[in-house]
Chain A
Amino acid sequence: MAQPTLLHFLVLSAVLFALGIFGLLTRRNAIGILMSIELMFNAAAMNFVAFTRFIAPEGLAGQIFTIFIITIAAAEAAVGLAIVMLLYRSFKGIEVDKVNFMRW
């Protein structure tokens, strides 16, 4: 029975990461940028889990780091969306190319 190899998972995560880069560079909406960042977080976390499964299964270090990544992503989303709300209140819009000065 054919099993997926390590390379399958790594290529998939490279594709997802490249999609995240594309979204990060093209989105004007700040929430869209945050979503692209989540995409890239997921790609990196998938690498960790794949390495745990195929290269270092004893200590489960990769899975533990994936849990840390998920925690940090939650913190990042909370702070990021708070900043988005603040932008919306101050600039009446969340298009990042309109937000081009830091204080007034």
Chain B
Amino acid sequence: MNLLIFYFMAVLAVVSGLMVVTLRNIFHSALFLVLMFFSVAGIYVLLGAEFVAGVQVLIYVGAITILMIFAIMLTYQLSSKNIRQVNEQVVPAAVIAFLFFVLSLVALVKTAWPVTEAHLPENNTFELGRQLLSTYVIPFEVVSLVLLAALIGAVIISRQDRPERS
């Protein structure tokens, strides 16, 4: 049963990922990106990471994709259908991606993974919050600082009226 759900989610993720990288219309790519994020969230639920799945839907689907669609809308006239969306490297890029996949497949199959029988903590989300504010409190603060700096940087970079440099 779980395997069936996994295959459904996996096929959904791979097909929509393929659409994201191959469709000519960049706006359709963004919509397929939403589907890809949703199916990855489904995979997270399957892996017992409910909180991460919720964060995935909130941040990726709710924020990042909307931001991208905004950017596509604001630059639309020039990124419309009649402009070529891919460069001349399609064949070498496909070869490189395929070689990467084969290489990692060989590595993944040949590695003896130390899979344990232990289970995730009973209260997954509770444990996650406790860890974030105890063991990982310094990375947590640092990453919030990074986010703040990135948002201020984004505002400053895209500001309309740039002061003249003297």
Is the Cβ of A58 less than 8 Å from the Cβ of B6?
A: no
Majority secondary structure of chain A interface residues (helix, strand, loop or mixed): helix
Is the Cβ of A7 less than 8 Å from the Cβ of B108?
A: yes
Q: Which of A9, A38, A83 contacts B43 (CB 8 A)?
A: A9
Is the Cβ of A25 less than 8 Å from the Cβ of B89?
A: yes
* Chain B residues near A21 (CB-CB < 8 A): 93, 96-97, 100
By size class, the interface of chain A is 35 or more
- Chain B's nearest CB lies how many Å from the CB of A15? 5
Residue interface bits B1-20, CB-to-A below 8 A is 1, else 0: 11100100010011001101
Q: Which of B2, B21, B78, B93 contacts A4 (CB 8 A)?
A: B2
* Chain B residues near A67 (CB-CB < 8 A): 52, 55, 128, 132
Residue interface bits A26-40, CB-to-B below 8 A is 1, else 0: 111101101110110
Is the Cβ of A83 less than 8 Å from the Cβ of B157?
A: yes
In the complex formed, the residue of A with least CB distance to B23 is: A32
- Chain B's nearest CB lies how many Å from the CB of A11? 6
- A residues bordering B, Cβ < 8 Å? 1-12, 14-23, 25-29, 31-32, 34-36, 38-39, 42, 45-46, 49-50, 52-61, 63-64, 66-68, 70-79, 81-86, 88, 92-95, 97
* 25 A-B pairs (CB sep. < 8 Å): A1-B1, A4-B3, A9-B47, A11-B108, A22-B97, A25-B96, A26-B90, A28-B84, A29-B85, A31-B71, A31-B72, A35-B20, A38-B33, A49-B47, A57-B121, A63-B49, A68-B139, A70-B52, A74-B64, A81-B67, A82-B154, A82-B157, A88-B75, A94-B75, A97-B87
